[in-house]
Structure formats: C-alpha cells, structure tokens
A and B are shown apart, each in its own frame.
Chain A
C-alpha cells in the first residue's frame, strides 16, 4: 500500500500533537510563543490566580509594539493607560522570566517583524501569538496562527494549545507578475476573489511560480493577510530563499547545526498527491495593482477598475453592508477610484514595514517631493529596520521628499497610540485592515501596496503606479 500522502500542514501538525482523542481537540505543542502588551496581561493574571508558573519561559519572547508612541520613544509614555500596559508587561516578564525587547532595545519592534528578523521563526515549527497576524511567520514553512488571551494563558502555563485541525486549502499563483505588481497586490487580489470570509476554517498553503519567485519578506506579506479572508493561517514550503534568509540571524541555528537543520527543512513539503479540501489557482498575469474601496479587506479592486454597483455584487445578501460601507467611505457605487484625493499616506505595519518595503518606497520617491495635500508617515517595523534604513541613507531620501520617518510600532495600523487618521480623512495605507475606525474614529482607509502608497504620496491621489515605474 502507498504510504499516506500528506500536506506540509498535516506533517507539521502531526509532529506536534501531544495528545489526541476522537471528538476532542488536539493538545498541540508550541515551539515558539510571542507576546505583546495588549493581549497578555490577563493571561499572566490567570496564571497568578491559579498559582502556575510559565512552563518553558525560553520559548516565549515579548515585545512592546501595539500601544507605543512612534516619536520620542526615549521619554516615558505620556498616555497613562498605554504606559500602564507597557509597565505591566515589564513587570510580568520580570516575574515570570520571559525575555522582553522593550522600548529602546535594539531588537524591539512589531512582534511579527522581529521574530523572523531575529531568526526565532524557523521552518517546521508551531508558532502562536495573541494576535491574528501571527500567520505572517508561515512564510517560513511552519504552522503559525493567532490566538485569544485564554489561549495565551494555556501556552504560558503548558506550552500547548487545544485546537481542532482546520481544513486545508492550496492556492497556486502561476506565471510571472507584471511590472508595478508586488506581493501585496497578490494577496489583495486573492482576498477580493475569496471575500473576507471565504477561507474561514481553512489553513492555506500558497504555491506556484509567482510565489516561489518572491523574496522572504514578500512571502511574509502574503501569509500575513491570510487572516483577512478568514483563514487561520497561511504557509509556504521552505526553499533555498528561506534557508538563505535564516542563515546568520541572531538566534538562528549556526554552523553544523544549521547545515543539519537545512537538510531536514528540505523535506518540508507537501507530498505530490496530498489531499487538500480546496485547491484554487490564479494566473499572475491577471493581477494588477490593487486597492480597497470599502470597509473590509475583501472589498478590493484593480486600481483602474470602478467600484461595483449594487447589482454587480457577487453576493446580494451583502447589499446592506455594501451601502453602509460606501456611505462610511464617502464613495459612490460605480465610480472610479483612480484620481481620488488622499490626505494621509501610512507606510508601516507587520504587512509592509520591512526593509525591502522601505527600499521600494525610497526608490520610487528618490529625488521627488510629496504632494502638498498629503501627510506621509513611514513607520519602520522594528528598531533593526529603522537602523538599517538610516545606514542605507533612506532616511535622507524620505526627509528630502517630506516624509516623516518615525520609530517602530504598530502605529496607525490600529490607531491605539496617538498616530490616528482624523475623522473623515482618507489614508492610503500599506497595513492590512480597512475596518470602520481602524485607523482612528471615522477614518477612511484605502489598502494598497507600498509602491501604490508611495505613488499616492507623490501625486496626492490614488494613482496607477504602472504609470510611474
């Protein structure tokens, strides 16, 4: 009999099951746990109440990112509640023996940016964090997913979570991308096809030539937004691009251990005839620069397309939400989005605030100036990204263009700190969510790639980047 053909997801899952019984969720061992200030305090409190210690402190890494200011990080945090939350994280990490990359630390940054850049995120692992965009780490060929605070407590207390095995989906992107089209456009395109709930219950494996040709950072952008179509997570089988990226990183295995592990990691792929619950494939040539017009990430179109009309909606049950959404955005059904004036440009977030993103933006704006009507914030994903950008002189390019280069954090991605888009204003953003009020009460978000955001910074309006590159 043929041995059972397995997907990469199934192989990693099966290797981490501590206990499994019929009708019962699996107790899944977690190799790497990341925590931050917003979703961890109640979990530590729970441990205290139960009188339980952290099971394996070396497997948890903490950072402060969601709530931190992006200016003057050397000063105490002004806002009392935010300050208290960061101080609580400090206190908890000290008490329970968890490593913390606090404000001002050279490794501080958005949790999903620092894991990979420090070599903490590796192929074959199981990784969780109390944050839905934990899916980002899946770019390295591992199982990474977001959890709630009760589950953070489970992992702290037992290094395990209880989970039901999700269904698997394979999405293949064949062929080559056109000029001006980047990873962000691929994922916005997929989400527009599948809708904001189309992958709920699934774990997605991305494959195909267009995915293989992407850098690690671009692959992270893709996996990052898996959650925006409802998926638990996304992953990409590791290859030489992955191994090269990991080599020499701070906490990555070194020397002989690295060589030995690379040999193991090469085995991490789905079997040829593995069964997926759903398989989809798209042609890279059909993907254009994308933009969202509504208030969920599934409401995306090619930048040159018109916003659909009510009658063109794929799902008529969504008419009420659609109308409400356009009203919120101050846009007309059936109208063009190209040329729409914007007020803010936000280049940041765990989707697009890595060094390659900043380079892409810098290359486009070098020698140019931002339009007078826009304010532009560039918020690097981590201290290391910020330092690298300065070393490469990108800060000079941004300064000359009139962009503000800030300090690392989640910033206007979720508007928890003071970086908020004012009510009624339009922001073209490289982040991942365009929900009502996400970037500040009544703010209006257009999600797009760093290239499209840079183009809008220069022209002051929604622009087809293909006319500029």
Chain B
C-alpha cells in the first residue's frame, strides 16, 4: 500500500531530552488492544501525558502549547524495548513525520521506516545543539531534507544523516517492502522447492 511520500520538511520541533525512551512509554501495552492501525496518537506517551484520572499533565511537553511541529527530538536510544509497531503508528498518528535522536533501537527504526516516519540519527553534539536552539526559541524551525540527507537549523548549521538507498527510495516514492517481496513470489516458490 502506498504511503505518504517524503521529501523535505521544515517545521518547529518538540523536544524530549530523555535517554532510553522505551516503547512502553511511547505507547503503554494496555493501549495495544485495537485491531486497526488508526487512533494510536491519542495515547502517545500516555502515562507521561495524562494523570491517572485522564486529565492532562500541564508540565508535559505535548500539553504545553509552546512547542509544536512535526518533528520530535529525543535523547539517545529512542524506541528500545518491544517490537510493537504501534509505537511508530502512535507517533505518526499524533502528527510527527520525523524523529531526531542520537541513537535508535533497531526494531523501532525498521518499524518507523515501514510507516513513512523518518528516523534521523545525528551526533550527540548536534543533538545538544538542537535542544539548545529549541530552548532558546521554541518556534525555531528545523529543516529535514531527505534527498540531500541533511538536517539544518535556522542559524544555518547542519549535519548530514545516513539512510540506506533502498529505504530512501521507498520513503521518497511511498513504496513499502511488501510490494517488493510480492514481486519475488516466483523466486520464493523456487527457493522452497530446492531447499
């Protein structure tokens, strides 16, 4: 199924300067009971975002109107823990299109890429710089340029990021892996026969 195409994004960002944000924080297990992909954004960071009586916690960043935008900036080792793709769905469904961190857990990174959510890995120093820029001016914008593989801040400083060519093409064109695998069905049948 084709996904939204990704090229360049320029928006303000929401900072979450915490390390090791695990998938249970992104979307707690008790909210995984839906059988569709939609609607998980409501429960993104549920236990950080809401009190136990479901009232929003005023001090949590998503409840603080100062910070908006389609880019989430988080501390290192983002997305560790479970393989639940619901984590990527909830971030996307909330409205983010990019997550910037200095390190991503493997399965999360895969899941994000499979859902048109771009994980951008930058150096620890550049991450610090981004946090500082947002702290100084919450509405400062960040530009994420997929074709050039570059993140640029308003002061002009930038850093390039890695993404493999295949995934880049998928994101830019809105393809997904299963389209490709389905095209290999004859080869797969053949493999089954000879192994």
Taking a contact as CB atoms under 8 Å apart, the answer to whether A148 and B85 are in contact is: yes
Please name 17 pairs of A and B residues whose Cβ atoms are closer than 8 Å in the assembled complex, sorted by A: A25-B166, A29-B195, A38-B84, A88-B35, A130-B83, A131-B82, A151-B110, A158-B181, A160-B184, A162-B181, A197-B20, A200-B103, A200-B106, A318-B20, A433-B81, A435-B81, A441-B52
Chain A residues with CB under 8 Å of B37's CB are 42, 45
**A159 contacts chain B at the CB level, 8 A cutoff:** yes
Contact indicator per residue, chain B 156-195, by CB within 8 Å of chain A (1) or not (0): 0000000011100000000011101110110110011001
**B36 contacts chain A at the CB level, 8 A cutoff:** yes
Chain A residues with CB under 8 Å of B181's CB are 27, 154, 157-158, 160-162
Contact indicator per residue, chain A 78-106, by CB within 8 Å of chain B (1) or not (0): 00011011001000000000000000000
Closest A residue to B180 by CB, please name it.
A162
Chain B residues with CB under 8 Å of A147's CB are 83, 107, 110
Chain A residues with CB under 8 Å of B134's CB are none
Compute how far the CA of A134 lies from the CA of B1 in the bound complex, rounded to whole angstroms. Answer: 27
**A74 contacts chain B at the CB level, 8 A cutoff:** no
Taking a contact as CB atoms under 8 Å apart, the answer to whether A200 and B77 are in contact is: yes
Taking a contact as CB atoms under 8 Å apart, the answer to whether A23 and B88 are in contact is: no
**A196 contacts chain B at the CB level, 8 A cutoff:** yes
Taking a contact as CB atoms under 8 Å apart, the answer to whether B33 and A84 are in contact is: yes
Closest A residue to B179 by CB, please name it.
A50
**A450 contacts chain B at the CB level, 8 A cutoff:** no
Compute how far the CA of A203 lies from the CA of B25 in the bound complex, rounded to whole angstroms. Answer: 25
**Contacting residues of chain B (60-85) with chain A, CB-CB under 8 angstroms:** 75-77, 80-85
Taking a contact as CB atoms under 8 Å apart, the answer to whether B33 and A29 are in contact is: no
**B105 contacts chain A at the CB level, 8 A cutoff:** yes
Given contacts A23-B165, A161-B177, 19 further A-B contacts (CB under 8 A): A23-B166, A27-B188, A39-B84, A45-B35, A45-B37, A56-B192, A67-B33, A85-B33, A130-B85, A149-B111, A159-B192, A160-B184, A161-B181, A230-B106, A232-B106, A416-B29, A433-B24, A433-B82, A435-B25
**A117 contacts chain B at the CB level, 8 A cutoff:** no
Chain B residues with CB under 8 Å of A159's CB are 188, 192
Contact indicator per residue, chain B 111-146, by CB within 8 Å of chain A (1) or not (0): 100110000000010000000000000000000000
Contact indicator per residue, chain B 28-44, by CB within 8 Å of chain A (1) or not (0): 11101111110000000
**A132 contacts chain B at the CB level, 8 A cutoff:** yes
**A415 contacts chain B at the CB level, 8 A cutoff:** yes
Chain B residues with CB under 8 Å of A161's CB are 177, 181
Using C-beta atoms within 8 Å of the partner chain, give the interface range for chain A.
Answer: 35 or more
Evaluate whether A441 and B28 lie within 8 angstroms (CB atoms) in the complex, with A27-B184, A46-B178 already known: yes
Taking a contact as CB atoms under 8 Å apart, the answer to whether A437 and B24 are in contact is: yes
Taking a contact as CB atoms under 8 Å apart, the answer to whether A197 and B111 are in contact is: no
**A41 contacts chain B at the CB level, 8 A cutoff:** yes
Taking a contact as CB atoms under 8 Å apart, the answer to whether B105 and A423 are in contact is: no
Chain A residues with CB under 8 Å of B180's CB are 162
Evaluate whether A148 and B111 lie within 8 angstroms (CB atoms) in the complex, with A158-B188, A437-B47 already known: yes
**B58 contacts chain A at the CB level, 8 A cutoff:** no
- Of all A-B residue pairs in the complex, the 9 with the closest CB atoms, nearest first, are A148-B85, A41-B35, A81-B33, A148-B111, A146-B83, A150-B114, A197-B77, A132-B83, A435-B24
Taking a contact as CB atoms under 8 Å apart, the answer to whether B80 and A148 are in contact is: no
Taking a contact as CB atoms under 8 Å apart, the answer to whether B107 and A132 are in contact is: yes
Partner of B35, one of A42, A157, A162, A441: A42
Taking a contact as CB atoms under 8 Å apart, the answer to whether B182 and A158 are in contact is: yes
Taking a contact as CB atoms under 8 Å apart, the answer to whether B188 and A18 are in contact is: yes
Evaluate whether A200 and B17 lie within 8 angstroms (CB atoms) in the complex, with A29-B188, A162-B180, A435-B81 already known: no
**A320 contacts chain B at the CB level, 8 A cutoff:** yes
Closest B residue to A29 by CB, please name it.
B191
